[in-house]
Amino acid sequence: MKSSCGTRFTFLVLFVAQSVCVYAGSFHKDVNIHWGGGRGKIQDNEGKLLSLSLDKSSGSGFQSNQEFLYGKAEVQMKLVPGNSAGTVTTFYLKSHGTTWDEVDFEFLGNITGHPYTLHTNVYTKGLGDKEQQFHLWFDPTVGFHTYCITWNPQRIIFTVDGIPIREFKNSESIGIHFPKSQPMRVYASLWEAEHWATRGGLEKTDWSKAPFTAFYRNYNVEGCVWANGKSSCPRNSHWFTKKLGKGGMNKVKWAQRKYMVYNYCTDKKRFPQGVPAVCT
């Protein structure tokens, strides 16, 4: 399956003042399996398929070798099948430090026969609390499906199989922070969070089913590579100016009307003084 993000792009890196061509799409050269003690494995010579595993001793994860200030990150994933309660499989962007920025796809496991919950969130300056959750319209454990984060100066768009399910707009004009100054790496992980992940922690991890394994393939990132405190990329990159037209917004409304199971913007118990300004 050909990635909609493309396989190569060109950008200018200011500190060397020359064109550099970056090729995306190989786990061998583009990522580092930075934790897990061998539980993360690249499965083929071309670096197109990678697995992450979780057992009672440890989970596993990988991170991109480069940092980006704006970009489009895409991967295909096949999640842990069967009883996955208490497990969390992720694909996300994150910066360093105690006041970090972060953009999350987190897949919360469930007991056999019950759906995964796709948890999305945006952190700015270390503060999240912008959760929207969905039950998907397909079984994400049977085959591979494509998950993509588009992050540009005006918005963050979450898409599933090319369908936008959420748009987080830059609302700095009304005092809402937006990720714009901290470069982020791309991360993925499989870890245990039985104290909260499934029905608020009521369903625990069945370790007799371990090891739990999720698969990632066709990893692609287009973005403004951060180096020596600077980054640059051509403004004609489609993702850099991408916004949702009427058709895209109708798809968001469809996904949220039919498949959203939690929206922080409507949680009056959590926000008794009124929903956050970004929701208005």
Which amino acids are annotated catalytic? Answer: 102, 106
Distance between CA atoms of 80 and 278, rounded to whole angstroms?
34
Alpha helices in the chain (DSSP H): 27-30, 246-259
Distance between CA atoms of 216 and 140, rounded to whole angstroms?
12
Distance between CA atoms of 68 and 249, rounded to whole angstroms?
27
The answer to whether 94 and 67 have CB atoms below 8 angstroms apart is no
Coarse DSSP helix, strand, coil percentages of the chain, rounded to the nearest 5 percent: 15, 40, 45
Sign of the alpha-carbon dihedral angle for 246, 248, 252, 257: positive
- Token readout for 200 is 């608020």
Using only C-alpha atoms, the chain has a radius of gyration, in whole angstroms, of 18
Q: Whose CA is closest to 235, among 7, 24, 12, 4?
A: 12
Residue 38 half-sphere exposure toward CB, CA atoms < 13 A: 1
